[in-house]
Structure 1
């Protein structure tokens, strides 16, 4: 993939035990050069259990040179020595996360549909900003009152060099406007894990290429 190509940022399903490590391996094999990040997003377990679940997935990502990003928890990201952390608006300050995780950590921030929040995140040292949910999503909070349009991505990439992630209900069938707008990454979850993950990743590759 070239620097101008949109890449995939996989977000884990709620359940990552059982056969999920095998499924992740299949998805990353199918997405060589396309999938460049994986977000570990598991709710309702303590840090010890989260670490136990994360470690085999981290090893798979490392083999495929895919960044392993922890959702919400700076302490867990630090404990795992993960590649980075993704912060919601209530999950802490990027500057404080940087102090804990170090200069090389990838720190992303959810900005919903807000240009203001995105600019604040950039000023605070975020490595990427995420807009969404663009479409109906079971992963993104239902509380996202305002749904962004691809125009917010077009605006961002014209002004800022910080990478931008599009998230929320994205599928191979509806991703073209986001790719055309200049999204650096498409963050996807259900559209990959709710079926054949390898086929879904390949379908994304074809859709991105066609856009």
Structure 2
């Protein structure tokens, strides 16, 4: 087990950019900044055809960096782009269907777990991870307090890993790590200033290396 696997790791939510070449370059640069476990690709406002084009360009960039490429929502796009998995933003019904169809061939996680009741319903489906927050939920500098509280409760009881959406401040990653969550997802904190993305990824990894609690083997 490497050092990074003993503490909370970074998940990136790909930036919302209509130009596929620019998006590929920004993501490629960010991934050179340091350890990233996975990258979630939301559709944002792209048409299905454009989303397919973006996924086919971005998935190899992500995989080349050693991260898992997770497509939000669209199973056909994930299959055609040879992604590693699916991030399901809907509730337990949608997630359950995706798990049934695509596990273990693909990583399947997500859930939109807005409270303990929904989180437990999702947990019963045995997804690969549960996501607290929304991939576009980084609207304040800090992570949402409700998501931090859910993650702390979840991590103390349940073995299924959880991912928590951080805030727009890279420092929010530490508050997520302190809940015991296995992963922190960042979007605007990394990509708000695209040219700074590699140095932010490096800084977040350094912060987690120095201050994040360690998991027991």
Mapping of 1:140-151 within 5 angstroms? 140=137, 147-148=145-146, 150-151=148-149
CA distance in 1: counterparts of 2:133 and 2:54, whole angstroms: 27
C-alpha separation between the residues in 2 aligned to 1:159 and 1:88?
A: 23
**Shift in CA distance, 91/51, structure 1 to aligned 2, threshold 3 Å:** farther
For the structure 1 residues 141 and 209, does the alpha-carbon distance in structure 2 shift closer, same or farther, using more than 3 Å as the test? closer
Tell me which residue corresponds to 1:201: 201
Q: 5+ unaligned residues in a row in structure 1: which ranges?
A: none
Residue 27 (structure 2) pairs with residue 27 (structure 1):
no
TM normalised by structure 2 equals 0.82
Residue in structure 1 matching 2:182, options 177, 181, 184: 184
CA contact (8 A) 1:89 1:111 kept: yes
Task: Considering fraction of residues, name the structure with more helix.
Answer: 2
2:11: which partner in 1? 9
The two structures, once aligned, show a CA RMSD in angstroms of: 2.4
Deviation by residue 1:46-100 (Cα, 9 ceiling, x = unmatched):
3222111111211111212210001122232233232111112259522321343
For the residues of structure 1 that align with 2:76 and 2:174, how far apart are their CA atoms?
36
1:158-177 mapped onto 2 (5 Å cutoff): 158-177=156-175
Partner of 2:130: 129
Larger RCO of the pair (alpha carbons < 8 Å, separation 6+): 2
Q: Once superposed, which parts of structure 1, at least 4 consecutive aligned residues long, lie more than 4 Å away?
A: none
> Under a length normalisation based on structure 1, what TM-score does the superposition of the two structures give?
0.85
